[in-house]
Amino acid sequence: MSFAPPPMPTGLPPVHVNLYSDTQSKPTAAMKAAMMEAEVGDEQAGTDPTINALCDKMADFLGKEAAMFLPSGTMCNQIAIITQCRPGDEILAHETAHILTSEGSGAAALAGAQITGLRGPRGQFSLDTLRAAIRSKSRHSPPQRMVEVEQTANSGGGTVWALDELNAIADFAHERGMVTHMDGARLTNATVAAGITPAEMVAGYDTVWLDFTKGLGAPLGAVLAGSREFIGQAWRWKQRMGGAMRQGGICAAACIYSLDHHVARLAEDHANARLLARGLAQIPGIIVESPETNLVFFDTTGTGIDAWTLNERTRKHGVGFSVNMTWRGRACTHLDVSAAQIEEAVAVIRAVVAEGP
């Protein structure tokens, strides 16, 4: 019996218009220069000046007391969960949440927590849906410990939770004695689209993190923030899971660079996503979900070509995207995709669809 999971199905021909994910953007020359010049120390001992600077900057950016540098967003989610949940605790999240669908059942395997998926359109659940999921406090019931939201909601179409919804959900969770956690993988896409500051957007959330390898274009790293006490406890898990990084400042420098130079420009990615959506919507048989940020989801049912096949065929012409479900593709705009490449992608997809199933 084999326990080895298969690799991601990305072993397709290389592409020059890469709409697979914003995770695939490459560090720019200026970012690499910032990395080369980084002052470094020993992060595990708390003495890497560049990591310390990044954490201070991020605590400010997110309006929290303290922050911690980690290799990935998945590790931020897992450490937030394991620090705050005991075995048997329940987490309430949208049924399409990354923590439920894409982290190897980490909440169950590492923290012993169960995630209950809530329904709702566009990757978001309403306050009423949350309220309906509240259990009586009894010996039978799982202790409900955490409410989690994803900003932007990835599988929901890169949608942006409205601030008043976020706050209403957080207030309700806190009244019920639960903690609130925000998966902010693409938080800055949300804040740029909504035109509000990150600190304001995440104020209701006890713990929150931002990924630097999505639209911000850094090679690795994510920062988890919360109260000083939470970060203190989270450090034990970072250490235990092998997430402490020695001269990690070389990577933190890329994150600082991206905060200074790559946040405002996310608006360009959003404009490119709208351009792509308009182009795809004109292809017979394709139905596009109107994008709010940099993710464009589209249904291929009407073309008779499933998303896997469409992607395989467009890749032969140098245009690749990702497949969310058999008939639902996802195209993601980012730093390494220009408006001209969007036009090219639309032309290639149109031509492939015209060839028929």
Q: In angstroms, what is the minimal distance from the CB of 182 to ligand PLP? A: 10
Which residues, in sequence order, are CB contacts of 17 under 8 Å at separation 6+? 318, 319, 320, 337, 341, 342, 344, 345, 348
User: With binding defined as CB under 6 A, does residue 148 bind ligand PLP?
Assistant: no
The span of 67-75, 129-137, 156-164, 289-297 binding ligand PLP (CB under 6 A) equals 67-75
Distance CA 60, CA 181 (A): 18
User: With binding defined as CB under 6 A, does residue 98 bind ligand PLP?
Assistant: yes
Closer of 98 and 270 to ligand PLP (Cβ):
98
Closer of 241 and 281 to ligand PLP (Cβ):
241
- The residue count for binding ligand PLP (CB under 6 A) is 11
Q: DSSP H helical segments within the chain, as ranges? A: 29-36, 49-62, 73-84, 98-101, 106, 127-132, 163-175, 187-194, 198-201, 228-240, 249-261, 266-281, 307-315, 339-354
Which pair of structure tokens corresponds to residue 150? 């994803």
Which pair of structure tokens corresponds to residue 347? 């032309």
Q: Among residues 18, 40, 61, 73, which is the contact residue for ligand PLP, using CB under 6 A? A: 73
Closer of 101 and 301 to ligand PLP (Cβ):
101
Q: Among residues 150, 269, 289, 306, which is the contact residue for ligand PLP, using CB under 6 A? A: 150
Q: In angstroms, what is the minimal distance from the CB of 355 to ligand PLP? A: 32
Q: In angstroms, what is the minimal distance from the CB of 302 to ligand PLP? A: 28
Strand partners of residue 146: 91, 179
Q: In angstroms, what is the minimal distance from the CB of 94 to ligand PLP? A: 10
Closer of 94 and 317 to ligand PLP (Cβ):
94
Distance CA 117, CA 91 (A): 9
Strand partners of residue 223: 69, 210
User: With binding defined as CB under 6 A, does residue 25 bind ligand PLP?
Assistant: no
Specify the residue for token string 């949940």. Answer: 85
Q: Among residues 72, 233, 247, 301, which is the contact residue for ligand PLP, using CB under 6 A? A: 72
Contact set for ligand PLP, span 168-227 (CB under 6 A): 183, 185, 211, 213, 222
Distance CA 184, CA 194 (A): 14
Q: In angstroms, what is the minimal distance from the CB of 70 to ligand PLP? A: 9
Q: In angstroms, what is the minimal distance from the CB of 91 to ligand PLP? A: 14
Which residue has its beta carbon closest to ligand PLP? Answer: 73
Q: In angstroms, what is the minimal distance from the CB of 238 to ligand PLP? A: 14
User: Is 66 in contact with 229 (CB distance < 8 Å)?
Assistant: no
Closer of 209 and 305 to ligand PLP (Cβ):
209
Q: Let me know the angle formed at the C-alpha of 321 by 318 and 256, rounded to the nearest 5 degrees.
A: 100
Q: In angstroms, what is the minimal distance from the CB of 69 to ligand PLP? A: 13
C-alpha distance from residue 190 to each of 10, 28, 82, 155 (Å): 28, 23, 26, 14
Which pair of structure tokens corresponds to residue 64? 């929290």
Coil, strand or helix at 159:
strand
The span of 70-78, 195-203, 285-293, 294-302 binding ligand PLP (CB under 6 A) equals 70-78
Binding site for ligand PLP (CB under 6 A): 72-74, 98, 150, 154, 183, 185, 211, 213, 222
